[in-house]
A = this chain, B = another copy of it.
Amino acid sequence: VNDKFRAATSFDVARLAGASQTTVSLVLGGRGDAGRVSKATQKRVVEAAERLNYVPNRLARDLRRRATQAITIVVPSLQNPFFAEVVGQAQLLADARGYSVNVMVASSPEAERRVLSYLAGGSVDGVMLGVSPEPVADLIRQLIGRGVTCVMAQAGAAVPGVPNISIDLEYGGFLATDHLIRLGHRRIAYITDVDTRTLKYLGYKRALEGAGIAVEGELFALGANTMSGGAVATSILLERFSQADRPTAIFAYNDLMAIGALRVLREAGLRVPQDVAVVGFDGTSLGAFTNPALTTVSHTRNAVVVEVLFKLLEKSADVEEKYEVPITLAVRESCGASIGGRGRG
């Protein structure tokens, strides 16, 4: 009674309204009509709830209902604008459906493990995995076993029962590289934060080989998956070559690294695209505002992932196990297409 920190419960409302908890639950849950509760009682309940500033306790409700109306987005990092955008988009879609969004960052396999074991605790209905789940496929299986709906973006290995929304990374790599080749480039560097055993790289290679251009290991450079990382990788590249040998184009693993590349090139006094062309990946909104505007491999995977998750959650439609989202090349300025080819080759 004199506990300052005790919020009103449905029991309190029931007492004040002279009704039962059941009735309160029914009325406040919006199921007062349907020939269940009389108008008069409904009014009394609503008024009592207002007087007491009653807000149902989510924890109790969710525990009882075995559903939380919440989803979690698992991403490897939030410093990366690409993933920040993912979260933003997901939030928008979730909000429209009355779901709340929880974000977890799984920056390492151990962190990932922790995150998934957290999720097994039943705090969310659905999970969108934006991380590579190979190391934790068994944990994901556990989540499913517990009734947590999962979808994942771009899994290398499929986990049965978990829809996988992917884009054709190999084709994306091909598309970007081929575009550069058509513009006359023959020395096209590739910067990334992972090794060469990726689909994007394979596409890059295929485009080169298709054009009869040798794939040089020297044209490959590593950096972290950040703007700074892109800058680092590009610096390495620039130091590696004499002016004559220098690559005439750089294909970056993603927009973030491409932006870093843009910066280093400018600092080195090189013009983009005239001296070096740059192509990014992901079509982030950022890329439209760089100087020069970034040509990038674009797709709508994020939106699709969230949509599939909600389809599943709301059982509103059948869901495939595998989706492939189409990709396009957003040709802007950094590739030099607008200023014509370069007449090489």
A residues sitting closer than 8 Å to B (CB atoms) are 4-5, 7, 53, 55-63, 68, 70, 77-79, 81, 84-85, 87-88, 91-92, 95, 100-105, 111, 117-118, 120-123, 142, 145-147, 227, 259-260, 262-263, 266, 285-286, 288-293
Please give the count of copies of this chain that the complex contains. Answer: 2
User: Would A88 and B95 be within 8 Å (CB), given that A7-B146, A289-B227, A291-B266 are in contact?
Assistant: no
Q: Which residues in B have their C-beta under 8 angstroms from that of A292?
A: 291
A87 lies within 8 A of B78 (CB): yes
Report A2 CB to chain B, min CB distance, Å: 13
Tell whether, in the assembled complex, residue B100 and residue A105 are in contact, meaning their CB atoms are under 8 Å apart.
no
Enumerate chain B residues within 8 angstroms of A77, measured Cβ to Cβ.
88
Is there an interface contact between A102 and B105, defined as CB atoms closer than 8 Å?
no
Query: CA–CA, A178 to B53, complex, Å?
Result: 49
**Contact between A291 and B291 (Cβ–Cβ < 8 Å)?**
yes
Which residue of B has the minimal Cβ distance to A87?
A: B78
Taken together as a complex, chains A and B put the C-alpha atoms of A85 and B77 apart, in Å, by: 11
* CB pairs A–B below 8 angstroms (6 shown): A5-B146, A55-B121, A59-B123, A63-B63, A81-B81, A100-B102
List the B side residues contacting A84 at CB < 8 Å: 78, 81, 84-85, 87-88
Min CB distance A117 to B, Å, is 6
> By the criterion CB–CB under 8 Å, are B101 and A55 in contact?
no
Chain B residue contacts of A79, Cβ below 8 A: 85, 88, 285
| A291 with B290: CB separation less than 8 A | yes
The 9 closest A-B pairs by CB, nearest first: A78-B88, A84-B84, A58-B121, A291-B291, A55-B120, A5-B147, A59-B63, A58-B123, A102-B102
* A55 contact set on B, CB distance < 8 A: 117, 120-121
How distant is A147 from chain B, measured CB to nearest CB, in Å? 4
Chain B proximity of A130: nearest CB distance (Å):
14
| Known contacts A63-B57, A100-B104, A263-B289; is-contact A91 B120 (Cβ 8 Å) | no
Q: Name the residue on B nearest A265 (C-beta).
A: B291
Extra A-B contacts (9), CB below 8 Å, given A56-B121, A102-B102: A4-B145, A53-B142, A57-B121, A58-B121, A59-B68, A78-B87, A81-B84, A101-B102, A290-B291
| Complex contact A286–B286 (CB within 8 A) | yes
| CB-defined contacts of A92 to chain B, threshold 8 Å | 105
Q: Within the assembled complex, what's the spacing in Å between the Cα atoms of A61 and B123?
A: 11
What's the nearest-Cβ distance from chain B to residue A81, in Å?
Answer: 6
Write out the residue numbers on chain B whose beta carbons fall within 8 Å of the beta carbon of A260: 289
Determine how close the nearest CB of chain B comes to the CB of A68; give it in whole angstroms: 7
In the assembled complex, how far is the CB of residue A323 from the closest CB belonging to chain B, in whole angstroms? Answer: 24
A288 surroundings in chain B (CB, below 8 A)? 227
**Contact between A122 and B289, CB atoms less than 8 A apart:** no
A266 CA to B91 CA, complexed, in Å: 33
Residues of chain B within 8 A of A291, CB atoms compared: 262-263, 266, 290-292
Nearest neighbor of A227 in chain B, beta-carbon distance:
B289
Cα separation A248 to B250 with both chains bound (whole Å): 35
Residue of A56, A59, A60, A70 with most partner-chain B CB within 10 A = A59
Question: Is the pair B259, A289 in contact by a Cβ cutoff of 8 Å?
Answer: yes
Q: Smallest distance from the beta carbon of A13 to chain B beta carbons, Å?
A: 14
A7 with B81, Cβ < 8 A, contacts A59-B59, A63-B63 known: no
